[in-house]
Amino acid sequence: MSNTQDKVVIITGASSGIGETTAKELASKGAKLVLAARREDRLKKLQEEIQNNGGEAIYKVTDVTSHEQMEELAEYALKEFGKIDVMVNNAGLMPLSPLHEKKINEWDTMIDVNIKGVLYGIGAVLPSMRERKEGHIINVSSVAGHEVMSASAVYSGTKFAVRAISEGLRKEELGNNIRTTIISPGVVATDLPETISGSELKSAIDDFYKIAIEPNSIARAIAFAIEQPSDVGINEMIIRPTQQEL
């Protein structure tokens, strides 16, 4: 039996990309999924697909920038399944732009989703994990959380923050047997670049994304981290296309 069998896993940003493929991967291994995102039509479609393939999934429309909604998401998971084994903080945005353009709204949105959303997810699940003295929190960062590129200053800042928060969490909760994993994807074929508002930069990023790997490559990495015995922590993984230099 897989170590993933019957584990209750919450996934934010589950309506597309890495979140969607991770849900399918974990469902195939017997996990019980709690799907969260803002787009209900996509959540419902994913739930139905998982159920039609013999898996188990529920969903809750959730905005990760709302502390209250994230608390409600955790409460829903506990009500339906009685426990939370894994939290995958996957929701994120990447509206890249040079700092001189002063796209304040985009900066604020990235901070709210990429940093606060992760914090709210951690805060929502920690009480029950600490009570049980077990759990696993997986935070999706990026290679941009390791290296800063032109036009990525704010985005990279948020992803560096995810790594710092995750490492702090690891040190604080290791005595409670709560594992942490940082997943840092490189170029992955998702709709992440669609949030870039500058047409010239968007065109350059689209060209760069021609080497993108499929999101199921990241899903397999997440599954690998979850499958390890409880005394083994896979603390960080970087998964890039072979041809990606940065």
Q: Taking CA 179 as the corner, what is the angle to CA 173 and CA 180, rounded to the nearest 5 degrees?
A: 95
Residue 105, classed as helix, strand or coil, is helix
CA gap 222, 21 in Å, rounded: 10
Per the CB < 8 A criterion, the answer to whether 19 and 9 are in contact is no
Residue 102, classed as helix, strand or coil, is coil
**Residue 115 DSSP label:** I
CB atoms within 10 A of CB 200: 8
CA gap 188, 99 in Å, rounded: 24
Catalytic residue list: 155
Q: Which residues have CB under 8 Å from 186's CB, separation 6+?
A: 142, 143, 213, 238, 239, 240, 241, 244, 246
β-bridge partners, 116: none
CA gap 208, 219 in Å, rounded: 22
For residue 118, give both structure tokens: 């992760």
CA gap 18, 40 in Å, rounded: 17
For residue 4, give both structure tokens: 């993933």
